[in-house]
Structure 1
Amino acid sequence: MKIEHKEGYVLISSEEFSFSEFFTFFSNQHKDLTKNNVIINISSNLVANEEEISLFLEYADIHRKNGTSFIVVYQNVDMDKFPEIFNIVPTLQEAEDVLEMENIQRDLGF
Structure 2
Amino acid sequence: MFIEKKENYTLVSSNEDSFSDFFTAFSKMKEAYKSEHLVLDISKNINITKEEFLLFLSDGKKKHDKSFVIVYNIANIDDLPQNFNIVPTLIEAEDILEMEAIERELGF
Supply the distance in 1 between the matched residues of 2:61 and 2:99 (Cα, whole angstroms). Answer: 15
Structure 1 residues 48-91: Cα deviation after superposition (integer angstroms, max 9, x where no partner): 121111111111xx100100000111111111111111111111
Supply the distance in 2 between the matched residues of 1:63 and 1:33 (Cα, whole angstroms). Answer: 10
AA in 2 matched with 1:103: A
Q: Please tell me whether residue 27 in structure 1 is matched to residue 27 in structure 2.
A: yes
Supply the distance in 2 between the matched residues of 1:73 and 1:54 (Cα, whole angstroms). Answer: 14
Supply the distance in 1 between the matched residues of 2:77 and 2:15 (Cα, whole angstroms). Answer: 23
Alignment of 1:1-110 (within 5 A): 1-59=1-59, 62-110=60-108
Structure 1 segments, 4+ long, off by >3 Å, are: none
Supply the distance in 2 between the matched residues of 1:80 and 1:34 (Cα, whole angstroms). Answer: 27
RMSD: 0.8
AA in 2 matched with 1:11: L
Q: How many residues align?
A: 108
AA in 2 matched with 1:99: L
Listed as ranges, the gaps of 5+ residues in structure 2 are none
Offset of residue 103 of structure 1? 0.5
Supply the distance in 1 between the matched residues of 2:2 and 2:105 (Cα, whole angstroms). Answer: 30
Supply the distance in 1 between the matched residues of 2:89 and 2:6 (Cα, whole angstroms). Answer: 16
AA in 2 matched with 1:87: N
Supply the distance in 1 between the matched residues of 2:14 and 2:54 (Cα, whole angstroms). Answer: 16
What is the TM-score with the length of structure 2 in the denominator?
0.96
SS of 2:61 mapped into structure 1: helix
